[in-house]
Every structure is written in structure tokens, then in C-alpha cells.
Chain A
């Protein structure tokens, strides 16, 4: 896991867009009066969505003021959770799972592919700035290991070649098909299931 520190180049200011503001107010209103600070995580997420998938310092400051809490408290939360990006990430943000089950099934081959195609180091933008990758902890799809996540979708049952193909696609600004790349339906056995045959929705 890399050090989670804010990026060097920071935008001067940040403000919620009207739609973000609406979403933020909706979340804040769920908390009792005086406990609005509890919504800091949700607000950070909204800020991240609005700002190309990363949170600048200005946004933390803005949220601190928004919720009337000290800046350092927002900063603590943002640096604690790994799913908040503190530095710019690509339009296609690749997260490769390298926790034990994926690692045993060859996750580091996927990492190699990322290094070849995107950038030498993790959390670094590709040459055309469209793409970045990082190693992450378990994404909860161990049955389909090894796997990676690109933006909101999972790409499963990969190996190095398949990964290279997927990465080629996203570098050409195409969205590859998510799901298993060995033809499995969700996480069912490879050549059709053998049990629970009478249950249609199993």
C-alpha cells in the first residue's frame, strides 16, 4: 500500500456543483442536529465524484467549513480510507487486487501488464493521462481471482494476455465488457453448474 498523501499540484478552490450540493444536503439532513459531522465520509465521496475521482485539499477545507469541523479532522478521514484518492487518477482508474487469493492465482501478472501498458509505477498517469492503476486490497471477488476493477466494473478470471487486451481497449478510449473473461456466468462453475439444477434463480 502506498503512502497516502495529497498531490503536489492542487487546485486553488473547490465548490460543490448544484447537483452535488443537493446530494450533500440530502445526506446532512439525515443526521440529528449537531451531529452533521458524521456525514463527512459521504461528502468526501460526493466531492471525489465531482472532481474527476480525486479529492483536492481545497475540497477537504470546503467540507470542513460546510460541516463546521476542524480541517485536520476531515484530513484525517480522507487520508485514512484508501478509497479516497488524494491525487489525480486517470479517466480509467484500474485497481488490481493483490490480496492472497488473487495473488496465488497470478495477480502479479496483471500488475506486470499494467506496468507495461499504463505506467511504470502505480498511482502514476499513463502517457496520454487517460489511465492510472494501483494495487488494492481484497475487492471481494476471490472466486473469480485474479481480478481488477476499472472505474465501477469488475473484470474477472484474468491472466496477463487478457489484461493486456483490456488495457489496450481502455487506452483507445473504449469500454471493455465487464465480468468473467473465461466465459463464466457470475461466479458459477466453468462448465455449467452441477447442483441445485431445479432452482432457476439459484
Chain B
């Protein structure tokens, strides 16, 4: 521990901290532009100057290591004069366009100039003008405002792992740009907008939309992937204007993926705002009583085992739970399913479908083995953690398949499932590496679980890890990388059809009524089924439906989501459903009332406590249900194809978003012209 003085207050700090961090520990705020906790130190904005005893000149506190016996002063006239000088230089070439700048109201430069700005300019020369740069469909640039803090350059190089942004030229001619002005090839690129302390990089879709003080801010959870990033939803009236990250060191740190940030414009397109009934292949507007009546009569005249329900990928847990209750109690059938195809899930133990090592654990790991997964597109935030682990600890990373650029180097194997058998029977070099490593991380993607012999392979992997003490109380190296927000929650609620294969029946058109709860990814051809679609967007599911029940999107209803690690988090209501649409749980509750003259739950609190009870009961109840494990004789070698949904179109909200379409097109264009970087 080091002892030093900050403004005559004695403090003790650990070694390796900077003066700026020490000052923060003493409760002194230091202005800064270039310094950022998560990035390397640049020390080029000079805003954090402090006075240090025995130093004739002020020192940049962000780049000065704290040392024993230092005497730092931050509130003297000397410091203020130094900072005012720095600010005057920064403002010399900064345009006076705050009234038309999107950063206005949340601009570091604007805020700090309130304290250190001089009211007049002594700079009589012409201000510098820098031409706009193309950085793709997400980032709007106004480079005249740039103060060259290089946060964006460091973010792209260090965190995102795409060295595409740089500072070219020198002195007054220095400019921040992407290489030859191509769009940034990263799924984390939107974060440079938050990092930019001025209005040089702003959000292109949000340009001139609103001022920060006009927006209602709701802290919530993201559903674009299974990570459950903590977000803040900014709304203006009904419309969701933008989504920003919240800091959660255990999950998303400070970053969110571009889909999380920019798919929000999909919330105002393609919305289902009133119930529809299909007459003669044409949808006609209806009211709730009509559609409920039709559903009731249809269900009454159909045998209960001919009714099936499918839960989608963005559904919150309350809705999934009341859906299950509706089937269990009102319809008395167990034909419900949360998967979209018949892949293997070891439902009997919770660890079989969780990311057990936790997202934080990725940083501790010393060997990462990816099987059937492309984390860059399936779970961008997890990929950023893997990269962080690689950068900090040079973690060895192996992938069964060659899956293209993951922003870090990895060793790829031949992609055959036979190789998995070899490795986890101990007959491969990789098996030795796994045994030698202290904290290996085996990441099984959804493509792995979709392979033919996945049940056998999964048990083989699990037994191997258990036998070699790689699954113990401290470290569980078995991880499933889920890609959809509601999957883990639905599995916790046991919305899965064991025993018979519901998908075969679906494909052979055995069902007469199909209830799709936000499920758009089913692969079957409709014949004579009567399809009820409940959801927020008019997509594939609504297209084939006979009755449409308009529901709410994740920003329009409160609800729980369990992320891929098994963390239960609540998303809060930021807006309200459009038109006649209702919250999803309400629709099912009312439908149940019409069917049986009795609501399933009196209110949402009752629903919630019942759901929590159910989950807790499941945790205690650990009887293995599925005992007949498949054996090696059933194993067939095949090539494991890593098949993931198109990153920008992975769910209904993203598919309705114009911004996501632009992103998709910008990447396609680059592929076509062959300028690969």
C-alpha cells in the first residue's frame, strides 16, 4: 500500500494505480477527456493536470503512477490556471455549434467548459475544418468537433479487436478516420459513440431526434441475445429513441452490441396494433371479444392432444409461465415447446444448459475450446470477454471449426464430430491440453446441440470433465452458449416437450390448433391447421396465422429474463403497447377467463410469485427424468456446421429495423467489391 496526500487528506492506495485513480479514491473528481478506465492510457488531452509537490510543472494525473509520499493538490489556483489553459487550446479549434450538436446536454467538453472555459476566445485565426468521414451506417461523424482524445482508436484496437480506426496526419492536420473510410467491421462499433467525449462521433439513426433532457430513461435488460446486457431505454412519448449501455461489470461491463443499441427502431415498424382475423386469405381488423370467441369455439371443438403451443425467443418468463399454466390448467395438455427445432437439451440438470463458468470466469480461464459456436455473432459481449482474456492472459483458444475472424487468433481443428470423440476419450493432443489447464472453458454452441449425436457427445464431454475434476465446486468448465434471450428462462420453466417428438408431429401436420407465442422460427409447411399468433411484430409467424393477437415488445412490458449464465434479471416497462395491443400475460389471462370463466391469476404479482415458487421447486427437485442415454454405437460421424442466424436479422425486432438492414447491406457491399480490408 502506498501512502499519499490528496488536498491534504491522507489516503492509502494499492500499488499500480495512477494519481488520477488515487484522487478518485480520495473523493476528488478530476476532469478528463482521453482517460477511460477500460482503455489503455494515452495522456494526450492534458485536462487532468494536477499540482504535485516538488514538480515545477503540473503533471497529467492519468499517466502518472501514484508513488509513496506524493503530495497532490487539485484545488489550487495553479491547477485551475493550467486546466483553463488546456481548455482554451481545446476550444480554439472546436466549433461553436452546441445548439445543433447531438451531443449537447451530455457532452464532456460542454460540461467541463462550464468550469474551466474562458468566455472569450483569443484565437483570431480561422478555425480548422475537417471533412466528414464515412464510418458506416451507424456512426455519424462531424470531425471538426474532434479533440483527438483517441478513445475511439483505442477502443477499436483493444476491445473490439478491429484495428480499423486510426489517426492520420500530424499536428493541425491530424484526423481520425477508418482505413480509407470504410465502415467499421465490428459488432461493437456503436460503443465509440458513448466513448466520444464530444460530438465528433454521434449516432446516425438518432441524428437530430431528441435532446437528452427530453427523454424518459428506463433501466432495463436487453433481449437481442442471451447475455442479458444491462441497458437504459430512452423514450420520447411512446417511441423508443435509443438504447444505451448501463455498467454491469459481471455481464456487459460498459459495452453493448450494435444490435442491442440500434435494433430499437424495429420497435416502431411492422407492429401488430389490433387483433386480426383471416377471412379468405385476407386479414381483417377485429376486436378482442371477437377473436377470443373464435378461439374459444375452435378450442372447444378440437381434441386437446391436437393443440400445440410454441414459445418464441423474445418472450419474458412471466408470459412463458402463464402460457404453460394455460396449457396445463385450462387446456389440460402438455404440447408446449420453447425450442424451434428438435435439438438436445439435458433438461434434468440445470448445469446442462447454462454457461456455468460465468461471463466473469472467462477472464480467469487458461484454455478456451469452442465447439459448434461462433461467439462473435451469437453473443458479441461474450466474444469481447474472450478477446479480453486473450489480450490480458494470452489465453489459448481452440475452435473445432474454422469460423472466420473472431477478433483474436485461434487454432482450428477439422470440424468433424469424430474429433470431439477422440478428444474427450483422451486420444488427442487437445485432450492433454484440457487436462493440463487449470480452468478450461468448453463452450458448446447451439449448432453442437443440433448435431445428430449431440446427446452422446454431450454426455461424453461431461463425463470426461467430471472424471478429470474439471467440474467441481469451484470451477465448472461445461458451458452452453445460448443465443436467444428467452431460452434459458423457458427451460427453467420446463417448457419443453419430453417423450414424444413434437416437431415430427408438427411437420406431418398432426396438430389442428397451433398457438405461436412470439415464435417465428418454426420450420414447417402449413396445411389445415388453425394458427393463433400472439406477438408484437408482423413477421413469419403472423404471416401464416389465422388469428393475430397483438402483444407487447420487451420495452413495453415488465418481465423477467434469465441470461445464459442463469442470472435472473428484470426488464422494466419503458413504453406501452401500441393501439389495441396488450401485455402478453394479460392476453393469455383474459383468454383463460373466457374459456373457463376464471382468470388464471388475479394480478401480475400473483403470477410472479407463483412463477418464482415454481422455479425454486424445480431447483430442489433433482430427480433425473431422462435415463436412457444414447451410447457410442449410435454415434455417427458428421461435419459439424456452425450455423448461426444472420447477426443483423436474428429476431423479429431486428428484422423490422431499417438500421439493421442498412448494416447488413453495408457488409454485403464490402464482400462484393472484394476490398477485404
Contacts and interface: CB of A to CB of B under 8 A. Distances in A.
A and B form one complex = yes
Interface of A: 1, 3-4, 57, 70-73, 75-76, 79-80
B166 A4 contact: no
A76 B180 CA distance: 11
Given A76-B168, A80-B170, 18 more contacts: A1-B171, A1-B173, A3-B169, A3-B173, A4-B169, A70-B163, A70-B179, A71-B677, A72-B163, A72-B166, A73-B166, A75-B168, A75-B179, A75-B180, A76-B166, A79-B169, A79-B170, A80-B169
Contacts of B178: 72
B157, B166, B677: which has the most chain A beta carbons within 10 Å? B166
B179 A72 contact: yes
Nearest to B157: A70
A1 to B, nearest CB: 7
Contact of B179 (A1, A3, A4, A71): A71
A1, A3, A75, A79: which has the most chain B beta carbons within 10 Å? A79
B165 A72 contact: yes
B151 to A, nearest CB: 16
A85 to B, nearest CB: 14
B167 interface: yes
Contacts of B173: 1, 3-4
10 contacts: A1-B173, A4-B170, A57-B180, A70-B157, A72-B178, A76-B167, A79-B169, A80-B168, A80-B169, A80-B170
Interface string B170-189: 11010000111000000000
A79 B157 CA distance: 19
Interface of B: 157, 163-171, 173, 178-180, 677
Nearest to A6: B180
Contacts of B163: 70, 72-73
Contacts of A70: 157, 163-164, 179
A71 B180 CA distance: 10
B164 A72 contact: yes
A1 B167 CA distance: 18
A57, A71, A72, A75: which has the most chain B beta carbons within 10 Å? A72
Contacts of A3: 169, 173
A1 B170 CA distance: 10
Contacts of B165: 72
A80 B166 CA distance: 12
Nearest to B178: A72
A75 B169 CA distance: 9
A139 B166 CA distance: 29
Contacts of B167: 76
Contacts of A80: 168-170
A66 B129 CA distance: 35
A80 B174 CA distance: 8
Nearest to A70: B163
A75 B180 CA distance: 9
Nearest to A71: B179
B677 A79 contact: no
Contacts of A72: 163-166, 178-179
A136 to B, nearest CB: 14
A196 to B, nearest CB: 40
A78 B13 CA distance: 42
Nearest to B168: A79
Contacts of A1: 171, 173
Q: Which are the 8 A-B pairs with shortest beta-carbon distances?
A: A70-B163, A72-B166, A79-B168, A72-B179, A76-B166, A80-B170, A79-B169, A71-B179
Contacts of B169: 3-4, 79-80
A75 B163 CA distance: 12
Contacts of A79: 168-170
B449 to A, nearest CB: 36
A3 B169 CA distance: 8
Contacts of B180: 57, 75
Contacts of B157: 70
A106 B171 CA distance: 26
A187 B164 CA distance: 48
B170 A75 contact: no
Contacts of B164: 70, 72
Contacts of A4: 169-170, 173
B149 to A, nearest CB: 16
B627 to A, nearest CB: 53
Contacts of B677: 71
A3, A71, A73, A76: which has the most chain B beta carbons within 10 Å? A76
B171, B173, B179: which has the most chain A beta carbons within 10 Å? B179
B116 to A, nearest CB: 30
B140 to A, nearest CB: 20
A80 B612 CA distance: 61
Nearest to B172: A1
B672 to A, nearest CB: 18
B114 to A, nearest CB: 34
B157, B165, B170, B171: which has the most chain A beta carbons within 10 Å? B170
Nearest to B163: A70
A72 B168 CA distance: 9
A144 to B, nearest CB: 27
B488 to A, nearest CB: 37
Nearest to A82: B170
Nearest to A3: B173
A7 B282 CA distance: 59
A23 to B, nearest CB: 26
B104 to A, nearest CB: 30
B159 to A, nearest CB: 15
A152 B180 CA distance: 32
B129 to A, nearest CB: 12
A72 B163 CA distance: 7
A72 B165 CA distance: 7
Nearest to B173: A3
A65 to B, nearest CB: 10
A3 B173 CA distance: 7
B133 to A, nearest CB: 13
Nearest to B166: A72
A84 to B, nearest CB: 12
A44 to B, nearest CB: 14
Nearest to B164: A72
B244 to A, nearest CB: 27
A56 B222 CA distance: 46
A70 B185 CA distance: 13
Nearest to A4: B169
A57 B163 CA distance: 17
Contacts of A71: 179, 677
Nearest to A80: B170
Contacts of A73: 163, 166
A111 B167 CA distance: 31
Nearest to B167: A76
